[in-house]
A and B are shown apart, each in its own frame.
Chain A
Amino acid sequence: MEFRKDLFASERNEDLNEVGRPTQRQDALGHVTGRSRFYEDHAMPGMLHMKFARSPHHHARIRSMDTAAAARMPGVVRILTADDVPKRVHTLLILIGLGPDDEPPLAFDKVRYRGEPVAAVIAESEPAASAACAAIRIDYEPLPAVFDVEEALASGAPLVNEYHGRNWYDYEGHDYQKIRFGDVEAGFRAADHVIEERYQMTPIEHAPTETGGCIAAPDTAGRYVCYTNTQALFFSLETASRILKMPSNRLHFVGGTVGGGFGGKVDSVHEPLALLGAMLTQRPVRSAYTRAEEMQVSSPRGAERIYIKDGVMNDGRIVARYARIYCDAGAYSRLSPYGAVKAAAHMPGPYYIPNVWVDARCVYTNRTPSSAMRGFGVTGADFALEVQMDKLARLVGADPMEFRIQNAYRDGDMKAHRRVTKNAALIECVQAAARLADWPIGERFQAMSSMRDGGGERARIPATPPPEAPARRVPAAAPEAAQAPLATMPPPAAETRSAATPPPRTPLAGAGRRMSSLLGTRRR
């Protein structure tokens, strides 16, 4: 590995004694000797196994459920249904104050995606638990389902999640996350070329080699222990504590060794129910996904659909960008409302564009709930952005590397979501990449620097035309009414022409502040 100490020398301390030096992982010896203990290595005598009866439907009403025959099957110790769960409906992001509760750990009344757990069987062996799951009789009334983000927003679409009352997440009175910076319409009018493209991501499964799971067991003094491969130990602890309505000091979570997570092990789906099982049976209970469950029901990276409309000048400057993002949350929020915020904030990309308009919506469909995965929100946005950059470069006959250097943000530039750019390094990265790839770039571009020519005029927050009408707030309890308006997001032209008055809150204020506390706070 090469360390380019010539770059940003003035910004670096030279007294670092770890950076730039190889350091042995503290767990390496355990890994190569096989001694590292993963949660399943804490198997206990008398341990029971929990398996789920899952919905075969994408969307259905549960008319009735009969567990009697299953309960009599050999090896079955206990069957859990929604009535056993102290807090019947929950949402993960409530830990950072983002409601509403929208997901039952065990479904009742309705199922909203295929594979949703409806009942849990706890038995002496895994096969016994699985056999009993198959024997639970559930009478479903299938409902129309919706799998496409834009169809979900159309009027008359089936309502996926009653707790939201509409098929999108409401950001404190805003239908979507918005960024308004400058005058995109004026930008498009002034541009030499305007193009609009559509990008579609697919859900992606993390596929960790160790599937998600945990072992929960009664401990002494009325406490319970939970060995888990969660990636977010205290997040899962707090989630379990809320769902079980039990103070967290009675729960002892032990984690640390995770057999691959990539964001797929933060949803805390096993711990609350395994703990509940341990409480009700007073025996150790293991819950673990099979490989097939991991693939089908564990939450994937959500799929975004992104439309980007750009105005570009013949000389290569991008002068306006209008982006519409639809993040597919699947049937429940999990961490997706946060992903949509990240997608919006990221959308202008690492580029300086004087006029930006972004609408990012978190949409509910009858697909498997999506959640965190390595930069979720940002990754999909980047895919769209960078393909768009290549298309723009081709459109104006520019070299794709030079085009990125030309449009890169620099120190001091105001970003569209109103943060001043610091420590920018894109120009240097592209220069280094071009050199390593033997890709010739012009001298003018080789001479550019992230530390020069930013700020000044580019530090200004440009005037933004009068804002749109205040967000139409729809009462959460009236799903039929909720589906009527707001079929599609209004194009900028319509919005800028609207004469509506009170300025909306700054984009991302409120929601953005809290969101940033979830997966890393800005420390500055």
Chain B
Amino acid sequence: MSHLTLRYRLNGNERADLVAGDETLLSLLRYRLDTTSVRQGCRQGTCGTCTVLVDGEPRLACITLAATCEGCAIETADSLPGSGGLHPLQQAFMDHFAAQCGFCTTGMLMAAKALLDVNPSPSREEVIDAIGGNICRCTGYEPIVEAVLAAATAARAGATPPAAHRHC
């Protein structure tokens, strides 16, 4: 088997791991490094559950070969909380009931983060597009869209998001 040494940054930490040429990023992060916040939903790229950020771009870990991430910065949901506590997206997801079973949540958060990092004031349509590759079977998406919009507002204000109108 052809192995190579992959040098990359995982949530800010420099790493070097030996990876097989055909090893996916999901397999490396979840099954070898025990980053369990990166979850496997389909292994086909269709559900978005394993979304992580590679150099700031949203990527599906299940259909990304680890070896192609040489020199990249990889972020998972574990990197979200800042020194001040939860990331505005995490707080908004809680406040807006945007997580039910929780399985899609980390992927959803990373997809949303990829958007807010480059577009701090997204429109509703842009939010819908940003999470368009992520499947949630519980919420019906509306609370998630609301949460992302609220998180954007909160992040701009530099405060925690308003728990405005809650879905019960």
Contact = CB atoms under 8 A, between A and B. Distances in A.
A28 B102 CA distance: 8
26 contacts: A1-B167, A22-B168, A25-B99, A28-B93, A28-B94, A32-B86, A33-B37, A33-B78, A33-B80, A34-B36, A34-B37, A34-B106, A36-B102, A38-B103, A40-B36, A43-B34, A208-B101, A209-B41, A209-B47, A209-B103, A209-B137, A211-B41, A259-B102, A291-B41, A291-B42, A291-B43
Interface in B76-90: 76-78, 80-81, 86, 89-90
A24 interface: yes
B109 A32 contact: yes
A37 interface: yes
Contact of B97 (A25, A40, A261): A25
A263 to B, nearest CB: 12
A209 B97 contact: no
A30 interface: yes
Contacts of A260: 101, 103, 137-138
A31 interface: yes
A285 to B, nearest CB: 16
Interface string B79-121: 0110000100111011001011111111001000000000000
B44 interface: yes
A32 B47 contact: no
B167 A259 contact: no
A204 interface: no
Interface of A: 1, 22, 24-25, 27-38, 40-41, 43, 206-211, 257-262, 290-291
Contacts of A34: 36-38, 76-78, 105-106
Nearest to B49: A209
B109 A209 contact: no
Interface of B: 31, 34, 36-44, 46-47, 49, 76-78, 80-81, 86, 89-91, 93-94, 97, 99-106, 109, 135-138, 166-168
Nearest to B76: A34
A22 B42 CA distance: 33
A38 B104 CA distance: 12
Given A210-B101, A262-B137, A33 B41 contact: no
A36 B99 CA distance: 11
Contacts of B90: 32-33
Contacts of A29: 94
A145 B92 CA distance: 53
Nearest to A29: B94
A43 B77 CA distance: 20
* A interface secondary structure, majority: loop
Contacts of A24: 94
Given A291-B41, A291-B44, A209 B104 contact: yes
Contacts of A290: 43
B97 to A, nearest CB: 7
Contact of B81 (A22, A31, A33, A40): A33
Q: Which are the 5 A-B pairs with shortest beta-carbon distances?
A: A34-B37, A259-B103, A31-B102, A31-B99, A32-B90
Contacts of A262: 137
A227 to B, nearest CB: 13
Contacts of B136: 209
Contacts of A30: 102
A38 B81 contact: no
Given A33-B90, A209-B137, A259-B101, A43 B41 contact: no
Contacts of B36: 34, 37-38, 40-41
B103 A33 contact: no
A291 B49 CA distance: 13
Contacts of A209: 41, 47, 49, 101, 103-104, 135-137
Nearest to B167: A1
Contacts of A211: 41
Contacts of A22: 166, 168
A1 B86 CA distance: 27
B33 to A, nearest CB: 12
Nearest to B98: A32
Contacts of B105: 31-32, 34
Contacts of B78: 33-34
A25 B101 CA distance: 11
Given A27-B102, A29-B94, A259-B103, A35 B137 contact: no
A25 B40 CA distance: 24
Contacts of B81: 33
Contacts of A38: 36, 39, 103
Contacts of B104: 209
A32 B97 CA distance: 11
A242 B94 CA distance: 41
A28 B93 CA distance: 8
A211 B49 CA distance: 12
Nearest to A291: B42
A32 B99 contact: yes
Contact of A43 (B31, B109, B167): B31
A32 B103 contact: no
A208 B101 CA distance: 10
Contacts of B49: 209
Contacts of A33: 37, 77-78, 80-81, 86, 90
